[in-house]
Amino acid sequence: MKLKTLIPAFGAYMIASTVQAQETAIAVPTDSVFILNSLLFLIGGFLVFWMAAGFSMLEAGLVRSKNVTMQLTKNMGLFGFACFAYYLVGYNLMYPLGTWATEGVISGIWGPAVLEAVGVDAAGADDYSYASTGSDFFFQLMFCAATASIVSGALAERIKLWPFLVFTVILTGLIYPLQASWKWGGGFLDAMGFLDFAGSTVVHSVGGWAALAGALILGPRIGKYTKEGKTVPFMASNLPLATLGTFILWMGWFGFNGGSQLAMGSIGDVADISRIFANTNAAAAAGSIAALILTQLLYKKPDLTMVLNGALAGLVAITAEPLTPTLGSASIIGAIGGVIVVFGVPLLDKLKIDDVVGAIPVHLFAGIWGTIAVVFTNSDASLSTQLYSIIVVGLFTFIASAILWYILKSVSGIRVSEEDEITGLDISELGMPAYDIVK
């Protein structure tokens, strides 16, 4: 009995004293705040990095076996190019730090990212009151690369490798950083009060819009839609890989949303990050269950590929606001994401927009939903500002992407030949089957 009463009292004492210490810490920058903030960026960053593996496995699993090597090549290629594009121009374009060419719209800093000097002390750090530049660059780079990963899945099995990679360079070097500066770089959308915590719009919808523009201009895969307007299913080649990819993305999302707290140097921040982890997880779980139950009801049998998409849609939906919802409301937000996917996939097919892995329903449709859903749990959000931002970012990304796709189409063509597409890109473009057993 004595022990029972003692422990809470002791716990309360500990919390009280830490809060006191923390209050001092906010007033005066300390090494530990700098270290913990940087650590959050590094941990979050490598978790988001790992999402590249998730996208690769998901896409490799959902394409047909004759296009797997190409899909993996695109995923490796896009990641590498995204890293350079973001380093050379993207990072400074996204974070003008007040130096605008056009106030709130276009950064005034065009040039490569520069890291802190080697072995700096407190006085030598770029921003001792916050975090190391390298950790911030590393973290933000991974978000940029994730945006490009979204595009590759939608356009799989028919797009040429090099035009796709050229698109990736422009997307990650210019399109993504430019629109991201409007919110996260302190630009005009941020000034208006637009809320997008970890990027339902800034990352996921942007990837989705770019993919939609590409899918429209590229056209569907040969034989996907019959003259009578029926959809012909092209079966996934490897559902274990697709499932592994989904779980990897789910795991990476803890870094994606948790790291977007952008600070870990106080009790409040750590408690918030913990909330974000739990809410992110709840939304994914609810999204997968919603898709599982809904496909059972609609089709009499559950569809695993939809369950995978449902989990991801739940994650995308909670990304705009993973902090303020309760576990219950996070679950509802995620579940609605899952429902959106189950209806979104056949809807795109009805419109003859061929999205191989469901990237557009998952990242664009659920991203829009998540951005709107912020208003239900965060009283600082205004519906009109959320809608305005969705439209502005959507129009900019869609139009910029469409122009770029058209230029690539007229310069080099973006689609492989009919024969190559039917043979499969692995053999025709790469001469390298993914599975030795492929005939």
List 107's β-bridge partners, or say none: 100
Other residues' Cβ atoms within 10 Å of the Cβ of residue 97: 12
Q: Which of 233, 240, 419, 439 is close enough to bind other proteins by CB under 8 A? A: 233
Q: Specify the stretch interacting with other proteins by CB under 8 A; choose among 94-102, 126-134, 263-271, 342-350.
A: 342-350
Distance between CA atoms of residues 28 and 57, nearest Å: 46
Residue 205: CB minimum distance to other proteins, A: 22
Residue 427: CB minimum distance to other proteins, A: 25
Q: Which of 199, 220, 265, 358 is close enough to bind other proteins by CB under 8 A? A: 358
Distance between CA atoms of residues 290 and 301, nearest Å: 14
8 A C-beta contact, residue 236 and residue 175: no
DSSP 8-class letter at 106: E
Could you give the string, one character per residue 262-301, with x where binding to other proteins holds by CB under 8 A and - elsewhere? -------------------------------------xxx
Contact between 354 and other proteins (CB under 8 A)?
no
Q: Which of 339, 342, 366, 373 is close enough to bind other proteins by CB under 8 A? A: 342
DSSP 8-class letter at 231: B
Could you give the string, one character per residue 405-434, with x where binding to other proteins holds by CB under 8 A and - elsewhere? ------------------------------
Contact between 303 and other proteins (CB under 8 A)?
yes
Contact between 231 and other proteins (CB under 8 A)?
yes
Residue ranges of the alpha helices (H) in 300-358? 304-319, 327-350
Q: Is 388 helix (H, G, I), strand (E, B) or coil?
A: helix
Q: Specify the stretch interacting with other proteins by CB under 8 A; choose among 80-88, 196-204, 238-246, 340-348.
A: 340-348
Distance between CA atoms of residues 360 and 211, nearest Å: 7
Residues 305-324 that bind other proteins (CB under 8 A): 305-306
Q: Which residues are CB-neighbours of 389 under 8 A, at least 6 positions away? A: 183, 189, 192, 194, 196, 201, 371
Contact between 229 and other proteins (CB under 8 A)?
no
Q: Which of 111, 193, 268, 346 is close enough to bind other proteins by CB under 8 A? A: 346
Residue 417 identity: S
Residue 291: CB minimum distance to other proteins, A: 11
Nearer to other proteins, 269 or 355 (CB): 355
Residue 243 identity: T
Other residues' Cβ atoms within 10 Å of the Cβ of residue 329: 18
Q: Which of 4, 227, 230, 439 is close enough to bind other proteins by CB under 8 A? A: 230
Nearer to other proteins, 82 or 342 (CB): 342
Residue 284: CB minimum distance to other proteins, A: 20
Residue 118 identity: V
Angle subtended at Cα 414 by Cα 411 and Cα 419, rounded to the nearest 5 degrees = 120
Q: Specify the stretch interacting with other proteins by CB under 8 A; choose among 114-122, 146-154, 182-190, 343-351.
A: 343-351
Other residues' Cβ atoms within 10 Å of the Cβ of residue 265: 24
Contact between 366 and other proteins (CB under 8 A)?
no
E strand spans, 88-223: 100-102, 106-107
Nearer to other proteins, 157 or 349 (CB): 349
Nearest to 68, CA basis, from 414, 435, 356? 435
Residue 241: CB minimum distance to other proteins, A: 17
Nearer to other proteins, 231 or 378 (CB): 231
Residue ranges of the alpha helices (H) in 239-326? 239-258, 267-299, 304-319
Nearer to other proteins, 231 or 385 (CB): 231
How many chain residues interact with other proteins (CB under 8 A)?
16
Number of H helices, E strands in the chain: 18, 2
Residues 115-174 that bind other proteins (CB under 8 A): none
The sign of the dihedral angle between the CA atoms of 251, 75, 90, 127 is positive
Q: Specify the stretch interacting with other proteins by CB under 8 A; choose among 24-32, 133-141, 230-238, 281-289.
A: 230-238
Nearest to 139, CA basis, from 76, 67, 198? 198
Task: List residues near other proteins by CB under 8 A.
Answer: 230-233, 235, 299-301, 303, 305-306, 342, 345-346, 349, 358
